[in-house]
Amino acid sequence: MSLGPESPTPGEPPKRVAIGRRVFIGIAAISALGIAFGADVQSFLGNALGSGLGGLLPGGDRFRIYSITGAYPQISRSDFRLEVSGLVERPMTFTLADLEAMPTTSFVKTFQCVTGWKVPDVHWEGVKLSHILKTVGVKSEAVALSFESYDRADTESLTLDQAQLPDVIVAHRMLGAPVTAEHGGPVRLYVAPMFGYKSLKWLSAIRVVDTVQPGYWEENGYPANGWLDGTTGPTNPDPSLT
């Protein structure tokens, strides 16, 4: 754009340029690019700056703590109990020490929220749900699991098949430390191949049932099967998710 000297004819208004429209279109284009490639920019920035500074930047990959009730249940390590009941051979109640004494599975996975934000490279440790189910003995008529939370609001469900996936765990450690209250500690569910809402926080009870009972988020319109690839069928659509 050349900006020659202005020589308005007297009495005639100077020529005008539609800057408003240009800036408007420019900002719209930048944000469209941001929507399309923001995920890549974010992971690049996160890698370049590390999780500390990257987490402080607007739009950085970081946890956004959700609580249905507006509070975090505070459960001490000694008070914590996980009750497993329903269609099982041996209903049992586990303490935190019981869970920690069980074989531990650990892996590094992305926590992906259904609304878009994600936190890459989260370190998870816990007991495979399948191991707990084996310990209590699932009866043959069992079909699904219902999960309850100490917040008395959140509930979740998984089919028995989904619960057998190797990266569905009852987590007692996260990010290299005991699970904090804001992240759902002392013990939370982590369902790696599905969106974050399936990973119920402040886990208090598991009931083995004969039908899938929609959980809190499913009652609010989320699919019961929230696979990370966006599909909603009952079975894992993509083995690489696990």
Binding track, positions 105-134, relative to other proteins; x by CB under 8 A: -------x-xxxxx----------------
**Minimum distance, C-beta of residue 35 to other proteins, in the bound complex (Å):** 4
Among 8-16, 84-92, 97-105, 122-130, the segment contacting other proteins (CB under 8 A): 8-16
Q: Which of 205, 239, 234 is nearest to 75 (CA)?
A: 205
Q: If binding is defined by CB under 8 A, does position 44 make contact with other proteins?
A: no
- Write the burial class of residue 208 (CB in 10 Å: 0-12 exposed, 13-18 middle, 19+ buried): buried
Q: Which residue(s) pair with 88 in the sheet?
A: 138
Q: If binding is defined by CB under 8 A, does position 4 make contact with other proteins?
A: yes
How many whole angstroms separate alpha carbon 233 and alpha carbon 217? Answer: 17
Q: Under a CB-based contact definition with an 8 Å cutoff, are residues 205 and 85 in contact? A: yes
**Minimum distance, C-beta of residue 80 to other proteins, in the bound complex (Å):** 20
How many whole angstroms separate alpha carbon 86 and alpha carbon 30? Answer: 54
Q: If binding is defined by CB under 8 A, does position 242 make contact with other proteins?
A: no
Among 32-40, 81-89, 162-170, 203-211, the segment contacting other proteins (CB under 8 A): 32-40
**Minimum distance, C-beta of residue 143 to other proteins, in the bound complex (Å):** 27
Per DSSP, the residues of 40-74 read HHHHHHHHHHHHHHHHHSTT-S------SSSS---
Q: If binding is defined by CB under 8 A, does position 177 make contact with other proteins?
A: no
**Span 67-96, contacts to other proteins by CB under 8 A:** 67-68, 70-72
Q: If binding is defined by CB under 8 A, does position 216 make contact with other proteins?
A: no
How many whole angstroms separate alpha carbon 239 and alpha carbon 242? Answer: 6
Q: If binding is defined by CB under 8 A, does position 64 make contact with other proteins?
A: yes
Among 22-30, 141-149, 154-162, 204-212, the segment contacting other proteins (CB under 8 A): 22-30
Q: Toward other proteins, which CB reaches closer, 137 or 214?
A: 214
Q: Under a CB-based contact definition with an 8 Å cutoff, are residues 123 and 108 in contact? A: yes
Coil/strand/helix, residue 118: strand
- Write the burial class of residue 62 (CB in 10 Å: 0-12 exposed, 13-18 middle, 19+ buried): middle
**Minimum distance, C-beta of residue 105 to other proteins, in the bound complex (Å):** 26
Q: If binding is defined by CB under 8 A, does position 53 make contact with other proteins?
A: no
Q: Which of 202, 211, 204, 194 is nearest to 160 (CA)?
A: 211
Number of residues near other proteins (by CB under 8 A): 47
List residues binding other proteins (CB under 8 A). Answer: 3-4, 6, 14-21, 23-24, 27-28, 31, 34-39, 41-42, 58-60, 62-68, 70-72, 112, 114-118, 180, 182, 228, 230
